[in-house]
Structure 1
């Protein structure tokens, strides 16, 4: 019996060592492969979307590309719907998720984040002729278009909204403008970008969530990769120091949002 226990213990230790070695060596594996695999939606303008030619572009796409360049590799984007995007890390579909993933205590239990690379507020968007929804509390019993697992969807639900599930910002706006929902709780920067492209859209911001600190987003990676985390943090610091971040910022928002 003692012999069997010893064999099992050795086997478990070997599995643990293998798992630890794999995790610790992810940065080396990325550099060896020459590719930084990035999970992203591709449907969330201006952060990750397809332009008129069909090319994947956006603020987060450019940030991820700049990180890859400073890691000395090429970016490889793997697109997926938001509701399953983070879970893609668990099955090794990619090395990181760069998709405005909010840094929360719940997510930090299972994953690691880079330092924040962007911050924003949640806003309550309604049609211009809406006079009944003036605050988040007015969402009670109203329909709000949101991705179910996003912080925005959770915020809408917390205020009593009937959350109508969608795949991204664009679908939320489509449902709102067509009158199929009463509102959407969404990202302030996404809305400002939308207004920049469609200034005549009959929508408005009814309220801004200032009940908590700015919503900060970071690059999401698997737990136990301190070398990769440090390398990504250094890349982010470098692109802010050399002006790359400011250029990307100006391109999508018309101002430097690094502060």
Structure 2
């Protein structure tokens, strides 16, 4: 991938970032903000999602599939200049809901509250570029992957970091519990928790951290919008990560996961996943090859 590759650029306004961050679902009990077409009352429906019985039946009875998302992480999930919630994950979620014959509803919050809200049954799943890690796979049932991603180390242009091993003893910043924070710490970095990618970049440019880890496509999207930013990719993780939708473990989610897998297969076969990936990333990351 090259920096001059044609990509669609997006501007997340400061107001949009601030507004979404303020919606962090403290204790997963705050009101949720919903965005975009097909949004409904996620707070009320989330209570129903926590009830007993088959979750897919509940989704069809409600007529909506509830996705948790940050809404501040372009190009995966963000607000455009018209303050409309969009992004690769958002549009994939809407396409999957359409295949299931329901509408997609989005509840926005900070990353550290999203999985907790899923555990509590306030959401059906998450649309937030969730990487499948061994630790998460023990706790959640994931759909099949709908995207394959590469994690990179982002530094300032004058940094001496050149490989993953150089993170030892360095200061990084990522959202707590993220796959980025876990990977950085596995190489000996000391990670500080942040709310979102924009805050991480501010810390990096202020010299308060040495590096941050994120998706390769997120870095290029940022550089498209900020071409003069003195940043670079210093290292790339060898293994691509699988991105999938997490669901609570249990028999009650099995039929929903099967239906979502069938929808993902359909969207891959008809080219919709590739089309959305090219629209938001400028490349196709919907397949492993």
Q: TM-score, normalised by structure 2?
A: 0.77
Distance (whole Å) between structure 1 residues aligned to residue 83 and residue 205 of structure 2: 24
Tell me the CA shift for residue 63 of structure 1. 0.7
Q: Helix, strand or coil for the counterpart of 2:90? A: helix
Tell me the CA shift for residue 42 of structure 1. 1.0
- What corresponds to 2:243 in structure 1? 217
**Alignment root-mean-square deviation, CA:** 1.5
- What corresponds to 2:77 in structure 1? 48
Structure 2 unaligned residues grouped into runs of 5+: 1-50
Size of the aligned set, in residue pairs, is 235
Q: Based on CA coordinates, which of the two structures has the bigger radius of gyration? A: 1
Deviation sequence 1:169-223 (CA, Å, 0-9, x none)? 222112112222111011112112212222222100111111xx31111111111
Spell out structure 1 runs of 4+ moving beyond 6 A.
none
Q: Helix, strand or coil for the counterpart of 1:86? A: helix
**Larger mean Cα displacement after TM superposition, 189-198 or 213-222:** 189-198
- What corresponds to 2:52 in structure 1? 22
Distance (whole Å) between structure 1 residues aligned to residue 283 and residue 133 of structure 2: 26
Distance (whole Å) between structure 2 residues aligned to residue 91 and residue 77 of structure 1: 16
**Contact in 2 for aligned 1:45/1:170 (Cα 8 Å):** no
Tell me the CA shift for residue 140 of structure 1. 2.3
Tell me the CA shift for residue 74 of structure 1. 0.8
**Contact in 2 for aligned 1:97/1:220 (Cα 8 Å):** yes
Matches within 5 A, 1:160-171: 160-171=188-199
Deviation sequence 1:104-154 (CA, Å, 0-9, x none)? 232222211100011111111101122x22222222222111112111101
Q: Which residue, 184, 196, 202 being the options, matches 2:224? A: 196
**Contact in 1 for aligned 2:118/2:125 (Cα 8 Å):** yes
Tell me the CA shift for residue 86 of structure 1. 0.8
Q: TM-score, normalised by structure 1?
A: 0.86
